[in-house]
Structure 1
Amino acid sequence: MPNTSRLASGHAALSALARGGLWLSVLLLIAIALLVAGQVVMRNVFSIGLHWADELARWFGIALVYLTIPYLLNQGTHIAVELLPSRLRGRWRTAALALSELAVAIFAGLSLVAFFKFLERAARFKTPALELPNLIFYMPAIIGIALLGLIAITRLFSLLRGTEPS
């Protein structure tokens, strides 16, 4: 089990990264609104279609979701079914919460393995409009899932040390 100071500093670093992902997501949301509005104006006023704007907005939307998820888990504000843990006390509650964090960490690990397997074949292909390599296109999702897994692990260690994460 890692010592408490390393766990706290690691959690602080992950919290800062998660907060950075949230702020980047806010900027991406603004960019999506500008892209959609700009595309409507260009099409209806100037009769110019921006073929790349839809794909860029889609990429920003995917990034927005995956970069926000770690922040939500870190704050304990993600969607959770708490029917069982809310009724339990003591070690049983801690065990249920730890099992939940372990499940999130395993999900993140399996998702990263799946991305690796997928990108072994698809990394060399490019998106149609922007011609971004798939590795770049999926990178926000990979970063978000990796950060999600790391945060779940630090929350699990906190539970095992007797401190319930927020």
Structure 2
Amino acid sequence: MVPIGWLASLRDALSMVARGGLWLSILLLLGIAVLVAGQVMMRNAFSLGLHWADELARWFGIALVYLTIPHLLDRGAHITVELLPNRLKGRWRMAVLAISELAVASFAGLCLVAFHAFLERAARFRTPALDLPNLFFYMPAVVGIALLGFIAMVRVLTLLGRREPS
């Protein structure tokens, strides 16, 4: 049986990190709004284009999505098809839910392998407007997917301990 006390502490720590990602995402959303409004104002009022604002807003958008995903999984707020688990009881239900969470963790693992393969080549290049290294540009996605995988594995362990993740 899984040590529930240790697992609960780990889950609480991951939840706090995921919640931090959510708050950072909210700030990034505000940043996108400021960048877009600022760019429109600069173009219309001063006939001055901010070539870097589009790229920065795109980076904020990527970070916003990937840093929010772990929080949604942690809260169980992802879209799920629960037709089969809702019809099952006991161990069968826990097994199906664990397989589902294991699929999410596997997806996260495959994404991290793909990011590694991609960034092995692309990391030495820089973004055109901000001159950021690609490694830095894609880091929010890597962090978000890694956190998603950790949370999914904790949810699997919770299910194996015969408790449903809340």
**TM-score when scaled to structure 1?**
0.97
**5+ long unaligned stretches in structure 1:** none
Can you list the C-alpha shifts for 1:1-26, whole angstroms capped at 9, x where unaligned? Answer: 65222211111110000000000000
- Matched letter for residue 46 of structure 1: F
Residue 22 of structure 1 corresponds to 22
- Matched letter for residue 15 of structure 2: S
The answer to whether the Cα contact below 8 Å between 2:2 and 2:161 also exists between their aligned partners in 1 is no
Q: What secondary structure is seen at the aligned counterpart in 2 of 1:144?
A: helix
- Matched letter for residue 108 of structure 2: A
Q: Distance in 2 between matches of 1:117 and 1:84?
A: 36
Q: What secondary structure is seen at the aligned counterpart in 2 of 1:149?
A: helix
Residue 83 of structure 2 corresponds to 83
Q: Distance in 2 between matches of 1:11 and 1:119?
A: 29
Q: How many percent identity over aligned positions?
A: 73
Is 1:123 the counterpart of 2:123? The answer is: yes
* Count of residue correspondences: 166
Q: Distance in 1 between matches of 2:36 and 2:99?
A: 42
How far 1:154 moved relative to its partner? 0.4
Instruction: Kindly report the root-mean-square deviation, in angstroms, between the aligned alpha carbons of the 2 structures.
Output: 0.9
Q: Distance in 1 between matches of 2:133 and 2:92?
A: 47
Q: Distance in 2 between matches of 1:3 and 1:94?
A: 17
Q: Distance in 2 between matches of 1:6 and 1:89?
A: 26
Residue 59 of structure 2 corresponds to 59
Q: What secondary structure is seen at the aligned counterpart in 2 of 1:77?
A: coil
The answer to whether the Cα contact below 8 Å between 2:2 and 2:158 also exists between their aligned partners in 1 is no
